[in-house]
Every structure is written in C-alpha cells, then in structure tokens.
Amino acid sequence: MEAAINIPINSTAQASVATEQMIIFEDVSKFYGEILGVNRVNLSIAPGITSLVGPNGSGKTTLMNLMTGLIQPTRGRVKVLDFSPSDPEVYFRHVGYCSQFDSFPAGHTGYEFIYSYLRVQGYGKKVADQMTWQALERVGLTEPAKRKVAGYSKGMRQRVRLAQSIAHHPTVIVLDEPLNGLDPMARADAIRLFRELANSGLHLIISSHILHEVNAMSDRVIFIESGYVKAAGDVEGVRNELEEHPLQILVRCDQPSTLAARLFQESHIVEVRIHDDRMGMFVKTRNTDMFYELLHHAVLEYNLNIETVATVDNDLNAVYHYLIGARQEGE
C-alpha cells in the first residue's frame, strides 16, 4: 500500500494562524465498503482559496463531503474552525457548501430555493428576504430570481447553488466544481467573487478541473490522486520539493557555451541544452536559489548579455503533470 503523506499546507504562511481558524484533517480515512475514498489524510488549511485538483474519482468530492459532514470518516477526525459536523446547528452557520448535486425542490423559483433554505435555518421572514436578495445580487441572478429553477440554464443553476452556499454568510465556503457550466464572463465574475471573499478572510475550498483557472485564483493547491494527498501548498513551494524533477529554466544570452561550461562545474546542475540558434539554453537544476546566485556571478565574470531568464515548468500544469501524470491530465 502506498505510504501516506503528511503535508501541512503552507507551513510558513500558516504558522501564525490559530487552530480555531483552520480546517484540520487528522489522519482521516474514508472507505465505502471495501472501496477507498481517501486514506490517511492530514491537512491543516488556513483562510484563503485552497483548490483541490486531481483526476475524476481521486477523492476530491469525498474530502468535501467529509468537510461538510455529509459523510463521516471511517477513521480520524475533521474539524472546521474548531467546530465538528456532528453539531450541524452550530457548524452550518459557519460553513456553506455548493455541491454538485443538481436537484432542487420541485416548483421552486431561484428566490424561493434560497429563501426556504434560510427559513429552515430559523431566520425570520424579513431577514431571510434581505439575505436572499443579497446572495442573488452577489451572483448576478436578481433578474431571473422569480423564475422556476427548472427553467434555468446549467450556468444559472450553478449560480443559484453558489448563492445558496453564501446566503447565510458562512466563514468557510466549500465549492465543488463551481465553474462548471458557466460561460467565460460568468467564470470571470465568479473568480472575482471568490477572490473578494478570500480577501475578506474567508476560507474557500474549491475543486476544479480547469488548471489555468485554479492557477490564477488559488492561494494553495491540494493535489490528490486515488484517495491519497500527493502534495499540498502554494504551487511554487510544491514545485521546489519535487527533487526528482529538476526545475527547467530558459536563459537567452549571447554566450551560451561559456555559461554552460561554467554551469557544469556545479553539482546541482543536471542538464544544459543549448538552443540551435546558439543564443540561449535550457538548464535543469535541483537548486533554483543556487542557480540564480551562480548566474549573477557568471554575468559579472563573463560580461554576459542576458536577454531572458524564465522558469519553464513551475506552473500548476507542470506540477500536476509531474505529480499525477500526463495520462490523467485534464480528465
């Protein structure tokens, strides 16, 4: 069996965040009979946008369902801001979940869907009405609010679910594929809303298949595959820990051969490939900091004329490729 990986997220950034502001998974496993959902997950998640990425069936939704108490762990413990899902009356005042379940009470309008949800929680008529309109306004759904949900497009249904999840002003918002079905404008608006919410100190846990959007909006990413958390943290930090995949750096300069000869003297340099036009090179290094320091020295020493220095494979796509594999990318 694959060994569990215990990865505190963003350990430096989170050091100052109190436990009661964190989402914590302590050695959490979930089995559906003999089928593995997730296994031995240890996570501590601070406020901000945390994205879950992984192929279909990797355990993203299981993690979200565990976080929201829809399922209970077979082993271990989940705590959200020091609250437990076993006390829903307190817990769900702080947590909102925009699930993928595409089912709405029959005959309800978008407005009634959210209003009824708030009334069930115990809000009075006037307050529930105000909160409903506020949530609908946030997702840009005030105009069709009085139409039946059954007649909504996929994107509108997604937005009304999103409105429901934020209507009661939660501190933790869990969003399962919230960008699915949204057109590009609505996606941009949704991402802007997520950023606004995160900037105001909330937790947003988002699962998504669209890596470039995850890359653009996330403060940190959890990579999950086959029920195991493979890595977690900010993308750059995770990339730096992938020692078996040396970082590729593009350098465009006027003396690539000279620079290559100098670089090969260092043990952290794994590979240098000079471009056909003899005006640049790809460098693979196991230690980025030492490479940049070396480059500075080389510039001074050989009077190099540097045109470009850029990392090639430290974005989310590359990290996903290395961790989870090219064959599963984009699933």
Partner 1 sequence: MNASLAETPSLGSSWPLWRRQIVGILRLEIKKNFLSKRALPMYLLAAIPVVILMMLAVFDRGMQRGVRTNLSQAFIVFSNLHEGLILRTVIFFGCAWIFMNLFRGEVVDKSLHYYFLSAVKREVLVVGKYLSGLIASCTLFLLTTIGALFFLLLPRGLQANLDYIFDGPGWAQIVDYLGITILACIGYGALFMVIGLFFRNPIIPALLVYGWEWLNFLLPPMLKKISIIHYLHSLVPVPVNEGPLAIIGEPTPSWIAISGMLAVTAIVLGLASVKIRRMEIQYGSE
User: In the complex, what is the shortest distance from the CB of residue 97 to partner 1, in angstroms, rounded to a whole number?
Assistant: 5
User: In the complex, what is the shortest distance from the CB of residue 21 to partner 1, in angstroms, rounded to a whole number?
Assistant: 16
- Residues 103-162, interacting with partner 1 (CB under 8 A): 103-108, 116-117, 119-124, 127, 131, 134, 137-138
Task: Tell whether residue 299 is a contact of partner 1 (CB under 8 A).
Answer: no
Instruction: Please report which residue ranges of 167-234 form alpha helices under DSSP H.
Output: 184-199, 211-217
Q: How far apart are CA 202 and CA 207, in angstroms?
A: 16
Segment lying near partner 1 (by CB under 8 A), choices 97-105, 250-258, 298-306, 307-315 = 97-105
The correct pick among 44, 51, 99, 109 for binding partner 1 (CB under 8 A) is: 99
Burial 251-273 (b: 16+ CB within 10 A, else e): bbbebbeebbebbeeeeebeebe
Q: How far apart are CA 219 and CA 196, in angstroms?
A: 13
How many residues touch partner 1 under the rule CB under 8 A: the total is 46
Residue closer to partner 1, measured from CB, 85 or 155 = 85
Nearest to 179 by CA among 169, 170, 192, 166: 192
User: In the complex, what is the shortest distance from the CB of residue 117 to partner 1, in angstroms, rounded to a whole number?
Assistant: 6
**Torsion sign, CA atoms 284, 290, 293, 299:** negative
Residue 30, strand partner residues: 38
Which strand (E) or helix (H) includes residue 13? helix 11-14
The helix/strand/coil state of 258 is: helix
Residue closer to partner 1, measured from CB, 65 or 285 = 65
Give the strand pairing for 306-311 and 35-45.
unpaired
User: In the complex, what is the shortest distance from the CB of residue 10 to partner 1, in angstroms, rounded to a whole number?
Assistant: 21
User: In the complex, what is the shortest distance from the CB of residue 93 to partner 1, in angstroms, rounded to a whole number?
Assistant: 5
Segment lying near partner 1 (by CB under 8 A), choices 64-72, 203-211, 252-260, 300-308 = 64-72
Nearest to 28 by CA among 67, 73, 71: 73
Segment lying near partner 1 (by CB under 8 A), choices 90-98, 179-187, 274-282, 297-305 = 90-98
Residue 113, number of CB atoms within 10 A of its CB: 23
User: In the complex, what is the shortest distance from the CB of residue 188 to partner 1, in angstroms, rounded to a whole number?
Assistant: 15
Task: Tell whether residue 93 is a contact of partner 1 (CB under 8 A).
Answer: yes
Residue closer to partner 1, measured from CB, 108 or 245 = 108
The correct pick among 12, 19, 72, 153 for binding partner 1 (CB under 8 A) is: 72
- Residues 156-215, interacting with partner 1 (CB under 8 A): 166, 168-169, 196-197, 199-202
Q: What are phi and psi of 116, to 5 degrees?
A: -65, -40
* Interface characters, 12-51, with partner 1 (x: CB under 8 A): --------------------x-------------------
Segment lying near partner 1 (by CB under 8 A), choices 96-104, 152-160, 240-248, 320-328 = 96-104
CA dist 281 → 20, 104, 252 (Å): 49, 57, 6
Asked whether the beta carbons of 269 and 312 are under 8 A apart, the reply is no
Asked whether the beta carbons of 253 and 307 are under 8 A apart, the reply is yes
Q: How far apart are CA 28 and CA 71, in angstroms?
A: 12
The correct pick among 19, 82, 101, 241 for binding partner 1 (CB under 8 A) is: 101
Which strand (E) or helix (H) includes residue 79? strand 75-80
Token pair 């559906």 is found at 32
Residue closer to partner 1, measured from CB, 68 or 248 = 68
Residues making contact with partner 1 (CB under 8 A): 32, 65, 68-72, 88-93, 96-97, 99, 101-108, 116-117, 119-124, 127, 131, 134, 137-138, 166, 168-169, 196-197, 199-202
